[in-house]
Amino acid sequence: MEPKVYSLSEHQIAPDQIDTHAFYVIQKLKEAGHKAYLVGGGVRDLLLQQKPKDFDVSTSAKPEEIRGIFRNAILIGRRFRLAHVRFGRKVIEVSTFRSGDTETADLIVRDNEWGTEEQDVLRRDFTINGLFYDPESQEIIDYVDGYLDLEKRLLRTIGQPEARFIQDPVRMIRLIKFCARFQFEIDAPTFQALLNCKGDILNSSSARVFEELLRMLESGASRPFFHLLQEYGLLQPLLPNLAEALQEKEIAEPTFRLLEETDAEMKKQLGQPLDRALLLSVLLFPLFEIIIQHKSSRQPLHLGQIAELSHQLLDEVFSPFFQLPRRMRAILSLILTAQFRILPLESRGQKKLRAPLDPIFSMALHLFKWRAAVQPELLPTYTDWTEAMYQGAESPAPLPPRRRRRRRRRS
């Protein structure tokens, strides 16, 4: 198959947009006699005039040959063997051209058969991710009409859609991710395959799916992503209790409005990245609030009982497919419980607020800030707690009690 080649005058990717370390890796591989290109999401994002998060390289060099060329390379993965070339904290991921059966509807459990650049493209997920870019010749190399699909803003699998989704069900999550991030249309055969294969998502690695969900909470497009997951029926097999709850308007509306607030903040990309447990709490709090209101209408609840109910909620929402990391589970429970410390179920009159100088309480107050943006009547409470935190931070720590010196008896 002859690829279509697009020159600089057509694609208009400026040379200074290419990461210098990725360019260096490609040059070194070529000097050693190998083919090497930028590939995947980095090329796609450059064509969409967005800043790529990563620059990945695909090459004819075998993993061991890559390690021989770069002293700063380590080999990772069993299912998918590749090299990480490290430059300080930055990592350039370098994969070898793969081959393999792209049409047989069997779950992929190993993917280490080496091939040509054309074979490598044909085993990738979507046409928009199947483009090579040669930074030396400044040419886009396209075997699958991915360039035209980007212009049409169309999502299409490479190869037979149902077979590709059965081979790797996480591709269905990625399809919805690209739909949410870029507002692309899904072509008809790909969309029908998504509906037909959605139950196969449980055949995928729960860790990979969970990572995709967390990345979307960090993406600034979590609201459309989770809306589409629910609309297309993929949330039901993954998080059935949450999917059922989101059918209720009183839970769905505040959940999606909180996701909008989160997205607005993530798009600004100010300060340190937010803890993933905080981001995950946005999905859970509206459901948790309804549960607590229902329980407290029967009998008063203290914070210890609310904490127990939070752990029960986490079990019910994430089991049996996902297993929350222990640290994340603990922080999530504390964030959810602290919402009822910040705003108690019953008014206790005027008391001086004492905000703990605790990073987890700061996260809880961060969630309350998003809640106050959705419910302006909460703003005075948020302001009071914010002032209490600042006052606590400015107050000098009390000095330890002075020890009285004992007088020695003279013998």
Say which of 16, 19, 45, 56 is annotated catalytic. Answer: 56
Q: Enter the tokens of residue 65.
A: 């040959």
Residue bearing tokens 């990480």: 84
The reply to whether 106 belongs to the active site is no
d(CA 269, CA 350): 37
Say which of 125, 142, 263, 275 is annotated catalytic. Answer: 125
The reply to whether 149 belongs to the active site is no
d(CA 228, CA 187): 15
d(CA 140, CA 135): 9
Our CA angle for 391, 273, 88, nearest 5°, is 125
The reply to whether 16 belongs to the active site is no
Radius of gyration over alpha carbons of the chain, in Å?
Answer: 26
Q: Which of 284, 289, 296, 371 is nearest to 331 (CA)?
A: 284
d(CA 186, CA 199): 19
Say which of 19, 54, 134, 187 is annotated catalytic. Answer: 54
Phi then psi for residue 279, to 5 deg, are -65, -40
Could you give the residue numbers annotated as active site? 54, 56, 125
